Structure 1
Amino acid sequence: MNSTTNLPLRRRGLLASGALAALLATVGLPACADSRLVQVDVVDRDDGQVLHVWRDHGRPVVAGRPGARYAVRLANTTGQRVLAVVAIDGVNVISGETAGVGQRGYVLEPWQRAEITGWRKSDSEVAAFEFTALPDSYAARTGRPNDVGVIGVAVFREAPQVALSAAPPVMPRPRIDGMAKAAQEPGDARDAAGEVARSAAPAMRAAPQPSERLGTGHGERETSVARTTTFDRATAQPEQTVAIRYDSLDNLVAAGIVPPPHVATTSPRPFPADPSPGYVPDPPRR
C-alpha cells in the first residue's frame, strides 16, 4: 500500500463522529513534563460525571456502577495529530481483535477532545460500553476473560511529513472539526496495558464483601458515523501508555483500595429524638 518506495507506510483508517465532543480550548497538563500526550478520563454517561481516580500502589483505578454506560474521554494535549489505540478488557474497541499496540486506533487533531462510547460495529454504529458482570462482558463472551477489568490507551505521535520529488502532490485534507479519526497500522505486539493486576490487600472489617468482578458489556447500538484517514507513526512503540483498572465500588472497598464508609463508634440509641428525663431548667442569670 506504499504510494512510492520512498514514502512511509500508510494505512487506511476510520473517521469517527457521532457523539464525539468539540475541540479543547485550553490544556491543564503540560505534555512535556511527563510525556502525557493524551489525557484519559472515564466518564459515566448516565450522569455525565468523570469517575474519581483512586490509586492502588500508584496505579489508577476507578469504580464503575453496574449497568451504567460509560465513555473513554481522550484529550489531545499537543499541537499535532496523535494516534490513540484504545483497548477495553484486552480487546481493540475498533476491530474486536485481542489488543496490540500496532492495531487500529483513533486519530485526534491538535488540542482535540473526543469521547469513545462503544465497540465499533460499522462506519455508522457502535455498541455502547456498559459496566456489567464479568461473564456478561464482551471479552468473556468471546472467550477472552483473562484481561477483563482494564482500560488501555497507547499513544503515538505522527511522523513528520517529508516532501520528495518522486512523491505525488499532496491534496489538502478536508477541515474536520469536533471529530476523531481511526487509523489502521501494522503489527501484532501485545499491549502490556491489557494485564489486570488485583490488589492483595486484605478486606477491612467494615468493608462490604466482594462481589463478582465488573467487565464491559456489548450494549445497545448507537449512531456514530466514521470514515477513513491516514496516519504515519513517528515510532514503532507508543510514546505514552495508559492503563486504568476498574471494578465495582464494593469490590474496591473490600480490596482496601477505596476507604470503607464511615462507621459510627457510639452506641446506637433506641429513641434518638428524646433527651434524658428532666425538668424545667433555671433561666440564665441577669
Structure 2
Amino acid sequence: MKTWITIVTTLIMALLAPIASAGQLAAVSIINQATGERLPIWRHQGVNYVAGKPGDRYAIEIRNKTDERVLSVLSVDGINVLTGSTASPAQAGYVLNTWQTMEVKGWRKNMDEVAAFYFSQLPDSYAARTGRPDNVGVIGIALFREYVEPAYVRQEEYSRNSAATAQAPVPSSAPAPAITGSMAKRADGAELADSRIGTGHGERLPSAVRSTDFRRATPMANEIISIHYDTYAHLVARGIIPRTRHDQPNPFPGGFVPDPE
C-alpha cells in the first residue's frame, strides 16, 4: 500500500511539474535517451531545474515556435556544444527552420557525429576535464531572429503609410532580453558543491548536419533560456523539489523485530 501511495504521489508531482521551458521563440525539453521521457522541469524562484542521474544519457530538444528561421546558440556547463569554446551568445549555433523540432544529443565532433551527453560526477564532466568546472550544472540556449531585408517602398507609398501609422496607437517597445535564470545559491554550501554533477563526453553518435548562412536581426540575443540540473536528492535537499512521504524517514516502517543478519 505504501509503495502505491508513493508511486501515485510521485506521478502527481511529475504531472504538476512543467515538461518544457517555453519561451516566445522556442520551447526546450531535456530527454532521457534510455527511456525517451521528457524530464520534469521544476520552477523555483524564477529558475528552471531538472533532476539528472549520473550515467544517464540525455538530449536537449529545441522546438521553434515561430514561422521564421531562428538561430540557437547552445551551451552546456558554460561550453559551446558546437565548438568546445567557452560559451558566448555571439558564437556559432544550430539554425532551426520554421516550426522545426531538433534534438541535440551531444558535443559536436564533426559534420556527421557527436559525443553523447550524459550526466556525470563532476570530475568526469567534460568541463572539469578541460579545466573549466566553474559553470557545471546549467544548460543555456540563446535564440536569435533572422534579419529580413526591408521591402522597397515608393516615396508616395511611404508618405501614405507614415501618415496612417502616426494616427494609429504605437505599441510600447519590448523590454531588453534577459537571462531567464541565474546560478542558484546552494543551501548546503560546499558539501553539495563538491558533489555536483556535470555533463560527460560520451560515445560517438551519428548526427549529420550541414552548413547554412544566417544573418542575425540583432547582435544581442532575442531570448535566452536556461535550465539548471542536479541530482534528485540534491534538489530535494535544496527545497527545489518538494519532499514526498517517500523522502521522509518513517519511524514505524515494519512489523515485528527480525533477527539481525
TM-score (norm 2): 0.73
Distance 1:37 1:219 in 2: 30
Aligned to 2:209: 226
Pairwise CA distance, 1:123: 0.8
Change (3 A) 1:75 1:100: same
Q: CA deviation at 1:230?
A: 0.3
Aligned to 1:80: 68
Determine the structure 2 residue equivalent to 1:267: 252
Native 8 Å contact 1:61 1:244 kept in 2: yes
The equivalent position to 1:148 in structure 2, one of 124, 129, 136, is 136
Q: Which structure's residues are more often helix, by fraction?
A: 2
| Counterpart position of 1:49 | 37
Aligned length in residues: 207
Distance 1:146 1:161, change over 3 A: same
Q: 1:48 to 1:114 in 2, by over 3 A?
A: same
Structure 1 gap segments, 5+ residues each? 1-33, 165-190, 203-208, 273-286
Q: What is the one-letter code of the residue matched to 1:134? A: L
Q: CA deviation at 1:118?
A: 0.3
Which residue does 2:123 correspond to in 1?
135
CA distance change for structure 1 residues 201 and 99 in 2, over 3 Å: closer, same or farther? same
Match of 1:200 among 173, 180, 187: 187
Distance across 1 between alignment mates of 2:188 and 2:127: 26
Q: Distance in 2 between matches of 1:265 and 1:128?
A: 39
Aligned residue number for residue 275 of structure 1: none
8 A contact 1:63–1:249 mirrored in 2: yes
**Larger radius of gyration between Structure 1 and Structure 2:** 1
| Separation (CA, whole Å) in 2 of partners of 1:227 and 1:74 | 18
* Structure 2 gap segments, 5+ residues each: 1-21, 153-177
Match of 2:54? 66
TM superposition shift of 1:197: 2.5
Kept after mapping to 2: 8 A contact 1:86/1:92: yes
1:69-107 deviations in whole A, cap 9, x for unaligned? 001100000000000000000000000000000001110
* Cα distance change on mapping 1:264 and 1:78 into 2, 3 Å: same
